[in-house]
Amino acid sequence: MTDILSRAARAADRVLVGSRGADDVVEVYAPRGERRGSLLLVHGGFWRARFDRTHLRPFAEFFADRGWLVALPEYLRAGQAGGGWPGTLDDLARIATETSATLGVPAGEWVVAGHSAGGHLAILAAERVRFARVVSLAGVLDLAACAADGLSNDAAGEFLGSADAETVRAADPMQQAVPSVDIALVHGDLDGDVPVEYSTRYATRRDDITLALLPGAGHFAVIDPEDPSFAAVVDAVEGR
């Protein structure tokens, strides 16, 4: 099994260029066979510009082969002009709105799956853009804890640009209202990058939030279609 961060996948069927310019792209994978639904993927990388969407291409290919229309966007990240807080979230919300209009898919039909920092962004974006469901895959759902724990050499501080309590509160899913959409959380119990407790704590915030804990799974198992535990991710995306 090759590393998910370097594994090859087929090319997208279509590439959309957004209003921000040439680096504002959304890769679109057309569904194979009967269409099951529409899936928007939000990659991780602790909000940093040096990490991009490419490692989610096998994930996109997998779900397209199962009949999903998949959109895999690139968004502004810390280290880029306009990235960081709140520009990164603003950009993701804009991308979701523009992609919906271009593809003719209402916002309320998208399932949004976000990995790591992408899980954090997907939860926050759902308060602005009313998706059908959000699936957080090893999401950074407790930003205050992320900052206090100094994850990834203070990625939260780099993203926020300020550690004052009000800034953290505004950007922290744990301190914001739970969005009124279906929410599913998936997290490996051996995740060494984002503590599983971030998801277990968030799951207690509303009775109908589902939580799948993957025994023996690490941080990248939740985006790897070749991992034995990936069936739980399929269930979360497809609402089972």
Please answer whether residues 192 and 166 qualify as being in contact, where contact means their C-beta atoms are separated by less than 8 angstroms.
no
CATH code, domain carrying 137: 3.40.50.1820
Residue 2, pLDDT score: 62
| Structural domain contains residue 65 | yes
Residue 40, pLDDT score: 98
DSSP per-residue letters across 129-149: S--SEEEEES----HHHHHHH
What is the C-alpha to C-alpha distance for residues 213 and 156, in angstroms, rounded to an integer? Answer: 24
Domain that holds residue 130: 14-237
What is the C-alpha to C-alpha distance for residues 63 and 31, in angstroms, rounded to an integer? Answer: 8
pTM passes above 0.85:
yes
| Structural domain contains residue 134 | yes
| Structural domain contains residue 105 | yes
Q: What are the E-state strand segments in 30-153? A: 37-42, 68-73, 110-115, 133-137
| Structural domain contains residue 52 | yes
| Structural domain contains residue 4 | no
What is the C-alpha to C-alpha distance for residues 148 and 129, in angstroms, rounded to an integer? Answer: 29
| Structural domain contains residue 77 | yes
Lookup: tokens for 114: 């976000």
| Structural domain contains residue 2 | no
Q: How many domains does the chain have?
A: 1
Residue 153, pLDDT score: 93
Look-up of token digits 């096998």: 58
Grouped pLDDT means (10 residues each) for the chain, 240 residues: 82 92 91 95 96 96 98 96 96 96 96 98 95 97 96 95 87 97 98 98 98 97 97 96
